[in-house]
Structure 1
Amino acid sequence: MVTTTRSASASVQHGEATLDTLAWIKLSSVTLPLPTPISDAKVLTGRQKPMTEVAFLFAEVATAQGHEGIGFSYSKRAGGPAQFAHAKEVVDNLIGEDPSDIGRLWTKLVWAGASVGRSGVATQAIAALDIALWDLKAKRAGLPLAKLLGAHRDSVRCYNTSGGFLHTPTGEVLDNATASIASGIGGIKIKVGHPDTRQDLRRLSAVREHIGDDVPLMVDANQQWDRPTAQRMGRALEEFGLVWIEEPLDAYDAQGHAALAASLDTPVATGEMLASVAEHYELIRHGAADVIQPDAPRIGGITQFLKLTALAEHNNLQLAPHFAMEIHLHLAAAYPIEPWVEHFDWLEPLFNERLTIRDGRMQVSSLPGLGVSLSEQARAWTVATHEVGTRP
């Protein structure tokens, strides 16, 4: 006698897949004022003025079936109006398209503006739309973005930068470090790059003594050292047991970073200023970084970020995405090698939600998508909008 069994899955009735189309997109240019002008080494070398605001490009999308998503890009000091202008020129190419085909749509948008290239302002404008499509896709699935991508963890190590800028007196830096650690943040990063390097060493010594040897500590030179200075400072900094030295050299000096990384015990981190996967590949190809620091809005969005992290994992690199923790928390949670995420509270007024931090780690929200929605304050700081299509 033969007994036939039927699995539970075989009895499930499957209908046709539910497809959808993009019906409405709204672009918003939002200017976030900073309460205190921000200075790092680029200001001390005269290359930039103190930063007083951050320009954001928000993209809100909605489908014919009423599903919605949100994404953003940003620019510091200059470039915000250019991102908004480029997005306005290409955005209508998305109306009527299937929002699930994100890779194809990224390519379509790039070709719509092909004469301005595949990096910089052009792809940073596309990034806001790309991120909105990923947020939409995760929301349709009812999953946090990290889970849609395939999370390796539900929380990510986090460190604070905003308390250690060069305009901040040392005593205040120490107070900020105490407050950060008390709030649950796991690591402290301070800026370096004073014209007198001894001032950097005195400041760093004070911070290390204040927080103790067990708290992870990083430094960031914001590309302002030349090769000899980076070599001398790298050797001098070895005693502090740093997690990494960030941007010791010009962001495009892959060979210089590679030589420095090979000569130091302290890991070298860089990548935040690069504007494409191709530029990051030069770092990887030269062995120029122990820690790679891509910024999804800067390199064209989540679609491009995932291409880059596949290369980074293949080369056994650590990952510490730059800025925009609301996006990068999800992407870091999906990276196989234990990463870091950068804590900045600057963006909090833009959103109704707040990320949870405890025991040195930032927690992935259980909300679907990115888990954020625009606040009324963000609406109040909006300086221009552009809409295409009809909202369902």
Structure 2
Amino acid sequence: MNAPDVSSPNPNDDRIAWIRISSVYLPLATPISDAKVLTGRQKPMTEIAMLFAEIETRDGHSGLGFSYSKRAGGPGQFAHAKEIAPSLIGENPNDIARLWDKLVWAGASVGRSGLATQAIGAFDVALWDMKAKRAGLSLAKLLGAQRDSVQCYNTSGGFLHTPLDQLLKNTDVSRSKGIGGIKLKVGQPDSRIDIERVSTVRKHLGDSFPLMVDANQQWNRPTAQRMCRVMEAFNLVWIEEPLDCYDAEGHAALARQFDTPIATGEMLTSVAEHWDFIRQGGADYLMPDGPRVGGVTPYLKVATLAEHAGLMIAPHFAMELHVHLAATHSREPWVEHFEWLEPLFNERLETKDGRMMVPTRPGLGLTLSDQVKSWTAGVEEVGTRP
């Protein structure tokens, strides 16, 4: 028997040596409007604030993670990330669950949800990316994949600012790209416009093609009840966020009353908030957002609770991460197709026959594009790069 090589690093005792945090503002080609804009609560969205975390270890391993914010919150996430990042220096990168707890308690005075956990999400995703790359596996395979592709639907072509004729063209483009479902934004002040748009798109797609609608929290309970009743005629996969995102009781009442499934959860930013919806039966489809909830670590907890309760899952946005996570669910999930983040990365996801292929490259399989530099508003480095 050969003696062990005592000069080689112990893979169980690697340490985080260097972290770079970047605040990046990704411009959108067209200002985006949903029901929150039409009700005057928000302005059209013109950019997405991205928070990137790049982590390297003493032994030369690296990971890339990200979180994001829309319309507001980007500077706050970046500021919080800068404060808590030094807590990771010198830590073992494999101890991801313990490090998540350490980071959340480092900033616990501002809460264990919301902006604080969204900032943690960038670090957590980077650590999982690193662990998968170290193993030579995609993140999906590291976590335990159930499938190599996931059914997917497009949202980016169905916003309220899009004229009806263009909406129909967008559905054709999505289908030609191999995308398997279409989601439309609803929530117009005049509900007749919503009904006309959904009816027209349903006729254009045919009776069986998967179609969803999303009211972005802008209906009150009486309006939601009336609209859900009308929408029953359109054979929808789900009606999303018909009520305020924290109204678990109201969502549960709709889920009990109507055949069309109710979907919600994208705005929730902790396991506890998701659990409140799960225990009250507030969703047929739960829609956790990995970066918003704090990364892969809490997302997996939410997914386990949802599966135990018999719910379906359809993770929100960030398909570059969620295609891996959705591949691990025992029940067939949906992944949301948004091409908005594509300019940030050198790689592209493949869609075919209504499904999104799970990348086979190690980790997330992502590298930052050269364009990111021109959109970078701030950079912070801690530790010493190996």
Q: Tell me the alpha carbon deviations over residues 168-226 of structure 1, each in whole angstroms, 9 at most, x when there is no partner.
A: 00000000000000100000000000111111011111101111112100000000001
Superposed displacement of residue 19, structure 1: 2.7
Greater C-alpha Rg: 1
Superposed displacement of residue 275, structure 1: 1.1
Q: Tell me the alpha carbon deviations over residues 328-372 of structure 1, each in whole angstroms, 9 at most, x when there is no partner.
A: 110000111100000000000000000011000000111000010
Q: Does 1:359 align with 2:353?
A: yes
Whole-angstrom distance in 2 between the partners of 1:111 and 1:72 = 20
Whole-angstrom distance in 2 between the partners of 1:105 and 1:17 = 18
Read off the aligned partner of 2:276 and give its amino acid letter.
E
In structure 1, what is the equivalent of residue 317 of structure 2?
A: 323
Corresponding residue to 2:278 among 279, 284, 287:
284
2:64 aligned counterpart, secondary structure: strand
Corresponding residue to 1:205 among 170, 195, 199:
199
Read off the aligned partner of 1:22 and give its amino acid letter.
I
Corresponding residue to 2:292 among 263, 286, 298:
298
1:139 aligned counterpart, secondary structure: helix
Whole-angstrom distance in 1 between the partners of 2:13 and 2:164 = 57
Superposed displacement of residue 13, structure 1: 10
Corresponding residue to 1:94 among 88, 96, 115:
88
Whole-angstrom distance in 1 between the partners of 2:202 and 2:140 = 34
TM-score computed with the length of structure 2 as normaliser: 0.97
Whole-angstrom distance in 1 between the partners of 2:68 and 2:4 = 42
Aligned positions of 1:1-392 closer than 5 A: 18-392=12-386
Read off the aligned partner of 1:172 and give its amino acid letter.
Q
1:72 aligned counterpart, secondary structure: strand
Read off the aligned partner of 2:287 and give its amino acid letter.
Q
Q: Tell me the alpha carbon deviations over residues 235-263 of structure 1, each in whole angstroms, 9 at most, x when there is no partner.
A: 11111100000000000000000001100
Whole-angstrom distance in 1 between the partners of 2:168 and 2:4 = 60
Read off the aligned partner of 2:304 and give its amino acid letter.
A
Superposed displacement of residue 17, structure 1: 5.2
1:190 aligned counterpart, secondary structure: strand
Read off the aligned partner of 1:192 and give its amino acid letter.
V
Whole-angstrom distance in 1 between the partners of 2:105 and 2:263 = 32
Superposed displacement of residue 108, structure 1: 0.7
TM-score computed with the length of structure 1 as normaliser: 0.96
Superposed displacement of residue 18, structure 1: 4.0
1:78 aligned counterpart, secondary structure: coil
Q: Aligned pair count?
A: 382
Superposed displacement of residue 102, structure 1: 0.3
Superposed displacement of residue 114, structure 1: 1.6
1:12 and 1:335, CA in 2 relative to 1: closer, same or farther beyond 3 A?
farther
Read off the aligned partner of 1:35 and give its amino acid letter.
A
The Cα RMSD (Å) is 1.3
